[in-house]
């Protein structure tokens, strides 16, 4: 192992990641990236308890770390308060918090729609799941990070706030809002050694994207328009999330959004 990798390994080993929505897609890829690097993981699921159990068994046996899963509904952000109390009982520290979970299906009705069919309730649900859940989760994480002298907070964002995507006004506007809150949080939490950033992805091949009615069109367009001629994968974002938490690599990076879009935004 070269000295840079050794430095990262030493920094990461024995720390704790809290991440929402890690049963699938990008969250799951991030969870594995941290687990492979010796980080204990406290993660949430919404419906897929069975998959959460499978992940725990897999990462604990492969990587010699501790993993635990908790139910969470990001439409009720204050659930984070009790959730973190449970995490206190199960883990001795919190170092990283990644707000990743996203809602879909009935709860985005009127939020994931063309402009003329947008409805306040659907838009509010997306705002709650994206922005308010980030705020409450980050506040609870911050209280714990202060006790260990610092940490890193990351939210997932998306390039649907930079380029037009059909039906995406609700998500795109909430992603803009969360990127702005990231900048404010970064200003106010820096004094505690806490950095706050966003990872913004272009279209990534996950269940969330497959739920788009025009999924096949989006996929074909990305493959054609990306200079790298392929869709993004969850692993493409996991590396950036890990980098942003690795103080040996990104210690002066805060209040930023890293865009990982396969070159699709500048078209
Ligand atoms: N896919 C993309 O193209 C793309 C691009 C850029 C950014 N992003 C962002 O990346 C993040 C992850 O997206 P993804 O594509 O990986 O999604 P995904 O594969 O659909 O996974 C969604 C995750 O959120 C959980 N979840 C669903 N409803 C929830 C609720 N009400 N409360 C709490 N958790 C809930 C799911 O848990 P269960 O499995 O238990 O239901 C699952 O773990 C999101 O913030 C998304 O906006 C995605």
The number of domains in the chain is 1
Is 265 a domain residue?
no
72 Cβ inside 6 Å of ligand 1? yes
In testing the pocket of ligand 1, which one of 46, 71, 132, 166 has its CB within 8 Å of the most ligand atoms? 46
- Measure the CA–CA gap between 141 and 224, rounded to whole angstroms: 40
Q: What are phi and psi of 109, to 5 degrees?
A: -60, 130
3 state SS of 164: coil
**Cα of 46 from ligand 1 centre, angstroms:** 10
Residue 94: inside a domain: yes
Tell me whether residue 88 is in a domain. yes
Q: Whose CA is nearest to atom 28 of ligand 1?
A: 103
Residue 193 is part of which domain span?
3-260
104 as an active site residue: the answer is: no
Is the CB of residue 29 below 6 angstroms from any atom belonging to ligand 1? no
Q: How many CB atoms lie within 10 A of CB 260?
A: 16
For residue 123, the CA-to-ligand 1 centroid distance in Å is: 17
Contact status, residue 126 vs residue 174, Cβ threshold 8 Å: yes
Any domain includes 146: yes
CA of 24 from ligand 1 middle (Å) equals 7
- The CATH number that applies at residue 182 is 3.40.50.720
184 within domain boundaries: yes
Q: Which of 33, 63, 175, 215 is catalytic?
A: 175
Residue 7 included in any domain: yes
Instruction: Please report whether residue 54 resides in a domain.
Output: yes
Each of the 267 residues of the chain gets a pLDDT tens digit; together they read 789 899 999 999 999 999 999 999 999 999 999 999 999 999 999 999 999 999 999 999 999 999 999 999 999 999 999 999 999 999 999 999 999 999 999 999 999 999 999 999 999 999 999 999 999 999 999 999 999 999 999 999 999 999 999 999 999 999 999 999 999 999 999 999 999 999 999 999 999 899 888 899 999 999 999 999 999 999 999 999 999 999 999 999 999 999 999 999 998
Please state the atom number of ligand 1 nearest to the C-alpha of residue 130: 45
Closest CA to 99 of 152, 58, 34: 152
């Amino acid at each position: 192992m070269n000295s840079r990798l050794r430095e990262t390994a030493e920094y990461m080993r024995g720390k704790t990641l809290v991440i929402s929505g890690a049963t699938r897609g990008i969250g799951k890829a991030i969870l594995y990236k941290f687990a492979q690097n010796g980080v204990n993981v406290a993660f949430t699921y919404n419906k897929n308890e069975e998959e959460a159990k499978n992940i725990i068994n897999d990462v604990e046996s492969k990587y010699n770390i501790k993993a635990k899963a908790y139910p969470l509904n990001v439409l009720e952000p204050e659930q984070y308060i009790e959730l973190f109390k449970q995490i206190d009982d199960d883990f001795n520290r919190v170092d990283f918090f990644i707000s990743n979970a996203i809602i879909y299906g009935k709860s985005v009705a009127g939020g994931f729609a063309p402009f003329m069919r947008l409805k306040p309730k659907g838009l509010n649900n997306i705002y709650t799941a994206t922005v308010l859940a980030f705020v409450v989760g980050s506040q609870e994480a911050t209280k714990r990070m202060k006790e260990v002298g610092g940490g890193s907070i990351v939210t997932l964002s998306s390039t649907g706030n930079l380029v037009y995507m059909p039906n995406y006004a609700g998500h795109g506007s909430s992603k803009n809002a969360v990127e702005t809150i990231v900048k404010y949080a970064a200003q106010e939490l820096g004094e505690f050694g806490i950095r706050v950033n966003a990872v913004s992805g272009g279209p990534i091949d996950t269940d969330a994207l497959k739920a788009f009615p025009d999924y096949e069109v989006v996929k074909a367009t990305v493959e054609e328009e990306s200079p790298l001629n392929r869709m993004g994968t969850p692993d493409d974002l996991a590396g950036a999330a890990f980098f942003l938490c690795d103080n040996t690599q990104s210690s002066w990076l805060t209040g930023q959004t890293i865009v990982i879009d396969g070159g699709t935004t500048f078209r």
